């Protein structure tokens, strides 16, 4: 039997200025979540460890997380676990000027097989317990156009009993693109029917499906990346192969994270600060990351009564990290506004030019007149264009 641990999108050395003094502790939690994949692989006698990209959050991480990664892959190597890794979109260089990915040190130390090409596949062949295995991978290509298919007209190397492809992209119709970015088409998966297992990165959500006989596996992250992922599960995948694939998801315990949207229609307008505070007190967790989003619209006078300093003080005291996102739209209810014509660039331009013309004479006056005509023509051309 062959046992494979598949993980990805660890984002070690996370960069988030808003965390301030809490950043180091948050990074430690993210690192501890990734370390569980190393421990599991060793304790459960895995044969192969595959990281599907974005092990680091940046192309040039600090030395402490680099050292921790070398330590982890050294432990895998000492335990006889073959490790494979590629560069994701956060850590892939876009040109030679950017240098190599941070995984280069793992290849140089002989601790991992690194798929360092981003325009073609690199293939490794190995035999485990009598099973011939092909593992082909290609790093993320940051030079592709949005919606461009990195597998278009491309055949993934195979030829073994168990054929694995390792990639870091979204797949249309299966794991949709996050934004306008390169994406693999379903037809490209179908064209590479020899691949039994796709170990995929980039999508921070656990997802498993099949395209014909090919298993598509997204392990998702081992920790949540931002508040948009507060409801997503975290973990990694274990695959046992003994003529057939047996796939299991191993959850990890993420740091508590909540995003709460509080609409003004659900606030007590007679005690607006009290209603906001009660939500904070109800949802907070001393070890949690909490984002409170204030929505809706209220009269301007009522809006000015919101004590944002007190909100941040209370939230900060009850949580590991707290932030308040204010999207409330104050209205003019109860106020009389004097209408104005607003900003009129053309009128201001004409007034300035006429003032200069009136203060000049002769040839100088003609120059100012020509300058005004040129400026107005240019303004109208830009405005209409």
Summarize pLDDT for 341-380 with one digit per residue, the tens.
Answer: 445 665 666 677 677 767 777 677 667 666 766 665 655 5
Which range of 175-184, 206-215, 326-335, 341-350 scores highest in mean pLDDT? It is 206-215
CB 171 within 8 A of CB 216: yes
Instruction: Please state whether the predicted TM-score (pTM) of the whole model is above 0.85.
Output: no
- Name which of 200-204, 238-242, 295-299, 372-376 the model is least confident about: 372-376
> What residues contact residue 75 under an 8 Å CB cut-off, 6+ apart?
38, 42
334 or 196, higher pLDDT: 196
Q: How far apart are CA 308 and CA 304, in angstroms?
A: 10
> What residues contact residue 147 under an 8 Å CB cut-off, 6+ apart?
177, 180, 181, 182, 183
The pLDDT score that the predictor gives to residue 337 is 44
- Cβ-based neighbour number of residue 60 at 10 Å: 13
Q: Which of 1, 11, 71, 13 is closest to 38 using CA atoms?
A: 71
Task: Output the CA angle 230-234-278, nearest 5 degrees.
Answer: 25
Sign of CA dihedral 255, 229, 85, 83: positive
Share of the chain above pLDDT 70, in %: 88
Element (H, E) at 104: helix 104-108
């Amino acid at each position: 039997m062959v046992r494979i641990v598949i993980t990805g999108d660890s984002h070690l050395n996370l960069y988030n200025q808003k965390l301030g003094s809490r950043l180091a502790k948050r990074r430690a939690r993210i690192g501890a979540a990734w370390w569980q994949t190393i421990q599991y692989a060793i304790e459960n006698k895995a044969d192969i460890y595959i990281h599907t990209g974005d092990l680091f959050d940046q192309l040039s991480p600090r030395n402490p997380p680099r050292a921790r990664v070398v330590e982890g892959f050294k432990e895998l190597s000492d335990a006889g676990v073959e490790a494979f890794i590629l560069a994701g979109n956060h850590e892939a260089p876009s040109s030679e000027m950017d240098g190599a990915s941070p995984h280069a040190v793992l290849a140089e130390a002989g601790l991992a097989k690194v798929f360092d090409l981003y325009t073609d596949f690199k293939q490794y062949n190995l035999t485990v317990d009598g099973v011939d295995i092909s593992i082909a991978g290609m790093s993320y290509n940051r030079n592709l156009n949005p919606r461009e298919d990195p597998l278009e007209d491309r055949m993934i190397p195979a030829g073994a009993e168990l054929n694995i492809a390792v990639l870091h992209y979204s797949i249309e119709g299966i794991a949709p693109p996050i934004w306008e970015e390169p994406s693999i088409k379903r037809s490209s998966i179908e064209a590479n029917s020899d691949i039994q297992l796709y170990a995929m990165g980039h999508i921070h959500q656990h997802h498993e499906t099949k395209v014909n006989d090919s298993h598509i596996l997204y392990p998702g992250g081992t920790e949540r990346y931002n508040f948009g992922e507060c409801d997503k599960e975290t973990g990694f995948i274990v695959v046992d192969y003994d003529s057939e694939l047996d796939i299991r998801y191993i959850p990890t315990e993420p740091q508590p994270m909540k995003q709460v949207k509080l609409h003004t229609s659900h606030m007590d307008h007679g005690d607006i600060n009290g209603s906001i505070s009660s939500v904070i007190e109800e949802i907070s967790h001393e070890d949690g990351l909490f984002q409170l989003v204030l929505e809706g619209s209220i009269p301007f006078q009522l809006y000015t009564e919101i004590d944002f300093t007190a909100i941040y003080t209370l939230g900060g005291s009850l949580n590991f990290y707290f932030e308040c996102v204010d999207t409330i739209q104050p209205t003019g209810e109860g106020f009389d506004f004097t209408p104005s014509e607003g900003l009129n660039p053309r009128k201001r331009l004409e007034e300035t030019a006429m003032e200069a013309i009136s203060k000049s004479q002769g040839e100088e006056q003609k120059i100012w007149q020509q300058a005004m005509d040129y400026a107005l023509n240019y303004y109208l051309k830009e405005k209409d264009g």
